[in-house]
Amino acid sequence: MKRQLEIERKYDVDRATRVPELTGVGPVVTTTTEEAFTLRAVYFDTAEYLLLANRITLRRREGGHDAGWHVKLPASRDAESTATPARHELHAPLGEAADEPLPAALRSAVEVILRGRPLHPVLVLETRRTVTTLLDIDGDPLGEVADDEVTATNPDTAAIRSWREWEVELAPGVGRSDGEAVLDAVGGVLESAGASLSASKSKLARGLGDSLPGTKAIALPGDDGAVLAPSSAGEFLLVQMAALVDDLELLDPPARDGADDAVHRFRVTVRRLRGLLRVYSGIIDPETASALDAALAPVSAAAGVARDIEVAEQQLALDLADAPEGLVTHDTLARLRASLGELGAEAGRDLGRILNDVSYFETLDRLDALIGPGGIVSITGDSADKSASKFAALKIAKESKRARRRAVAAADAYGESGEFDAELLHRARKAARRLRYAIDAQRGATLKGSVSPKAAHALQDALGDALDAHAASERYRAAADVARWAGEDTFGYGVLTALALARRDRALRRLPKLAEKL
């Protein structure tokens, strides 16, 4: 699967207007024009037009230099705020059959929107295209102007629409600032020739016309006209959860692909959602909140296992860096890495199964329903109409006491007996994590608070460091047992175990002071 960034502007133009001469326009030194050719593209979506509602287009195109399956995705929020919004475009090659299924890699990229729903053709485009390539002083392409005569057929209604448009698309590798200058210069000439910026964002949207659905919106008013009071606890929680649901849906595709740091960020987002449901209780209907929390639990667990393998690799790197040279053999390291590789592959498969399970799709639907126009019907708690600022402050004060109490208990248990109590540490870490996420939501809503987010983060990190280092020592010991059974030298495992335990103990000694700062 190939990925590229698409930056283009579209113009409406009548059938009689010719593409003007563009040589000498801005940095364009010369141009070349190809013979006209024909493209045939079939666009796919669900019956509800869910892809289009989320500004995603999916097509199978025949003809031209980029024939294949294409998925166009919205770019980052920062990119969308620029003069010419960019889109990420994913490509996969065509198979032999015209009725071939969507390639699995592309389906994975949009499954968070499809959620198991079937796809069907929603539009067929026949385009007669003439391309003018814009070249700089070195003969390198700056972009191209596509002169398109388009005929769109809706297979559901048999409606036919036709129009002509010009597309100006930057060549790959042209920088944003330089590209905007090219687009501005060329666009000015095109508009002087009679073209106007298109009101339609895509050929698909224009071809569907009246069939075009509304975009997904995060709306607080209910269907019955009820409205959450501004600055209320109910509004605060829904807005914060809406942002997290957006993040979850953005992170789902890279998490499925195992992209760098994506599983970690995906897991954190799921945990943040669960944390808000628990800490800020009294707003959402308890049954609804409990059901969502329970539904998110297996997703969090599966992502957690996959992430734990990444953490294990980081722990091994730390201990290897501290180990005296020559004490950890290549055989020892190879066994450890092979074991982590096998566990990581298995964890990735398990996460994939969870993310393709109907229960996960239903959970996403329920989250969308909660933050959507009708979600207000679930905001029935006694605290929904309270001041967001006061409500958040009270909840965070309670969580702060809980986190401090659990951290002190874990530290005291270790100090008195010298024994490591994993259960106490886990409970303390969970409390510190919930506190941190609650504070982040409070600050994200620009509400004032007295508990330091840095203090909560530092305590969570120390607890995490202790638990992660202890888990590393247990892995080394287990690997040593296997190596001993195989008749291998186990000295290196002992070295790594000692280093991991030392790191664990250093983290535990930090707990009392960190707890006092909450």
The 10s digit of each residue's pLDDT in 192-227 is 999 999 988 789 989 998 666 554 433 333 444 445
Neighbours of 330 (CB within 10 A): 8
Q: Tokens representing 222?
A: 């209910």
H or E element at residue 143: strand 141-153
Residue 222 has a pLDDT of: 40
Query: 214 CB contacts (<8 Å, ≥6 apart)?
Result: 53
> 190 pairs with which residues across the strands?
none
Q: Which amino acid is at 434?
A: R
DSSP state of 468: H
Check residue 223 and give its pLDDT.
42
> Shortest CA distance to 309 belongs to which of 334, 335, 346?
346
d(CA 432, CA 404): 8
DSSP state of 217: -
Distance CA 347, CA 258 (A): 11
Beta-bridge partners for 146: 131, 167
pLDDT of residue 213: 56
pLDDT above 70 (res 348):
yes
pLDDT tens, position by position, 172-185 = 888 777 899 999 99
- Looking at residue 221, its pLDDT comes to 38
Do the bridges between strand 120-135 and strand 30-33 make them parallel or antiparallel, or are there none, so unpaired?
antiparallel
Token pair in block for residue 479:
């690997």
Residue appearing with tokens 């692909």? 257
Closest CA to 64 of 132, 1, 129: 129
What was the pLDDT predicted at 78? 47
353-357: long-range contacts, CB 8 A cutoff, minimum separation 24: 353/302, 354/298, 354/299, 354/302, 355/111, 355/252, 355/255, 355/256, 355/299, 355/302, 356/111, 356/116
Span 78-97, pLDDT tens digits:
444 456 767 889 999 998 88
Give exposure, 340-364, as e/b (b: 16+ Cβ within 10 Å).
beebbeebbeebbebbeeeebbebb
> 293-312: per-residue pLDDT in tens?
999 999 999 999 999 999 99
**Confidence check: pLDDT of 412 > 80:** yes
Nearest-angstrom CA–CA distance, 162 and 127: 10
The backbone torsions φ and ψ at residue 23, rounded to the nearest 5 degrees and listed phi first, read -65, 130
Tokens 């995060």 correspond to 218
Q: Give the residue extent of every domain in the chain.
A: 2-211, 217-307+329-386, 389-518
Average pLDDT value for residue range 229-254:
92
pLDDT tens-digit series, residues 255-302: 999 888 899 999 999 999 999 999 999 999 999 999 999 999 999 999
Whether the model pTM is above 0.75: yes
Question: DSSP characters for 279-315?
Answer: HTTTSS-HHHHHHHHHHHHHHHHHHHHHHHHHHHHHH
Tokens of 332: 């020892």
Residues 6 or more apart whose CB falls under 8 angstroms from that of 415 comprise: none
Residues 75 and 62 sit within 8 Å (Cβ to Cβ) = no
Q: Which of 76-90, 147-161, 241-255, 426-440 has the lowest mean pLDDT?
A: 76-90
pLDDT digits (tens, 9 = 90+) for 127-180: 999 999 999 999 999 999 999 999 999 999 999 999 999 999 999 888 777 899
CA distance 336 to 343: 11
Overall residue count recorded for the chain in this entry? 518
* 217-307+329-386 matches 2-211 in CATH topology: no
3-class SS of residue 40: strand
pLDDT band at 436 (very low <50, low <70, confident <90, very high): very high
Give the helix, strand, coil percentages of the chain, each rounded to 5: 55, 15, 30
Residue 384: DSSP 8-state:
T
Structure tokens given for 74: 């919205």
pLDDT band at 391 (very low <50, low <70, confident <90, very high): very high
Q: Where are the alpha helices (DSSP H) in 258-285?
A: 262-279
> CB neighbours of 141 closer than 8 A, spacing ≥ 6?
133, 134, 135, 171
Architecture of domain 217-307+329-386: Alpha solenoid (1.40)
Arithmetic mean of pLDDT, 489-517: 94
Count of beta carbons in the 10 Å neighbourhood of residue 70 = 20
According to CATH, what is the number of the domain 2-211?
2.40.320.10
